[in-house]
Amino acid sequence: MLEWASARNRTDVKEANGFSSVMAPSTAPSTAALGHAVPQQPARKTAGGAEAPDPAPAPKSGISLALGGGAARGWAHIGVLRALDEAGIEINMIAGTSIGALVGGCYLAGKLDELEEFARTLTKRRIFGLLDLHLGGNGLLGGIKLTARMQEHMNGIRFEDLPKPFVCVASEIRTGHEIWLSSGSLITAMRASYALPGVFEPVTCNKRVLVDGALVNPVPVSVCRAHEQQLVVAVNLHYDLYGRAAVIKHSAGDLVIEKDAAAPGQKPTSAPSREARLGITGVMVEAFNIIQDRISRARLAGDPPDMSLQPRLGHIGLSEFHRAEELIKIGYDCAMAQMADLKRLQTVLA
């Protein structure tokens, strides 16, 4: 009892029990803290008495991007890359096919701003001015004007100059081989990867005649896997093209031969209504689109990515390069909508 009474008269005991309004911070929490708030935890100390640093944040794995082909829809890749940069996502590697190779190469070369500015200023009239018809060659367009525009900003840049690994996927027209370009001239490799057969002239690289890589690998997830990348994110530009894989039973009907134009002064006979003509280029592009869609379905089923970003672009045509502003926004919104899942995957696979 005497010890307890003596202890009650001690100042430090009074303070500890809330009897004093003057506190010693090193001995007890404040009265307000005792009544209403949770007292703060003291700083962690090491064995020597020094304060220990805060726990390090959970490690995160960098991502590898597989940027798919899709002609004009490829401007959506710009929006995806902008979103990843804004969120602070580290990119360890990029593999690109067709327009994906163009955007990925410009990004790693530090020229994404220039490419975006070029895309946003495109109009139908300006696009037509960039087309250099080359009827006597192996494609309708020579691609010289487009190459000249790239050389204004990227002349002399090689794969070896890039800060991260980069692979352009192309197809060898004579053998059908899938070609992975990862050294040499960056512009040459990007040109080969987007050389749509029949539209652009094939590109010769070290005695191999190369065309668009989407013929063999439209979304190059397998390239990232071969480079032992842990977290592979694919950007598939053909996801919402519904109905392309359907099988439909149909009747051939009667044989219909389109007659020549009626003779002068003679009224034409009743003929079936003509649908809007696609033109030679339109037929080639749409046929290529079908091939690309079927191949990408098969390859992604056999070697799926860890995550797919699938911007909804079915309402935008493959040749509508003048809709860059809309496409970039769709790509950005798609990536931001899945950013929380992507960051969670980074932590899980770290």
pLDDT of residue 310: 94
Of 20-24, 228-232, 249-253, which gets the smallest average pLDDT?
Answer: 20-24
In this prediction, residue 32 carries a pLDDT of 42
**248 backbone dihedrals φ, ψ, rounded to 5°:** -125, 130
Do the beta carbons of residue 142 and residue 346 sit within 8 Å? no
Residue bearing the bigger pLDDT, 66 or 243: 66
List Cα–Cα distances, 344 to 3, 67, 75, in angstroms. Answer: 58, 21, 27
| Mean per-residue pLDDT, 338-342 | 96
- Residue 331 pLDDT exceeds 90: yes
Q: Is residue 166 within 8 Å of 104, Cβ to Cβ? A: yes
51 secondary structure, DSSP code? B
- Tens of pLDDT, residues 253-294: 887 665 554 455 555 554 444 456 777 777 877 787 788 888
Q: Is the pLDDT of residue 135 over 60?
A: yes
Is the Cβ–Cβ distance between 213 and 178 less than 8 Å? yes
- For 22-36, 101-115, 156-170, 285-299, which range has the lowest pLDDT when averaged over its residues? 22-36
For 131-150, give one letter per residue: b (16+ CB within 10 A) or e: eeeeeeeebbbbbeebbeeb
Run of H or E including 113: helix 112-120
Q: Map tokens 């397998």 to a residue.
A: 222
Which pair of tokens denotes residue 339?
Answer: 């950013």
Residues constituting the chain: 350
pTM assigned to the model = 0.76
Nearest in space to 71 (alpha carbons), one of 325, 317, 331:
317
Phi and psi at residue 179, in whole multiples of 5°?
A: -110, 125
- The sign of the CA dihedral 131, 134, 140, 146 is negative
What was the pLDDT predicted at 14?
A: 44
Please count the other Cβ atoms lying within 10 Å of the Cβ belonging to residue 315. 10
**Mean residue pLDDT across the chain:** 81
Number of Cβ within 10 Å of residue 207's Cβ equals: 5
Specify the pLDDT at position 314.
86
- At 35-81, the pLDDT tens digits run 444 445 455 554 555 565 555 565 678 999 999 999 899 999 999 99
Q: Which residue has the higher pLDDT, 175 or 250?
A: 175
Asked if pLDDT for residue 248 goes beyond 90, the answer is no
> Of the residues 64, 171, 193, 212, which is catalytic?
212
User: Alpha-carbon distance 155 to 114, whole Å?
Assistant: 14
Q: Name which residue leads in pLDDT, 168 or 51.
A: 168
State the Cα–Cα distance between residues 123 and 85, nearest whole angstrom. Answer: 28
Given 64, 98, 193, 222, the catalytic residue: 98
pLDDT at position 42 is 52
What pLDDT shows up at residue 161? 97
Q: How far apart are CA 145 and CA 127, in angstroms?
A: 11
Catalytic residue at 113? no
Please give the pLDDT value at position 28.
Answer: 43
Q: What is the pLDDT of residue 243?
A: 56
pLDDT at residue 152 in the model: 92
pLDDT at 177: 97
When mean pLDDT is compared across 109-118, 194-203, 304-313, the lowest value belongs to: 194-203
Q: How far apart are CA 28 and CA 322, in angstroms?
A: 69
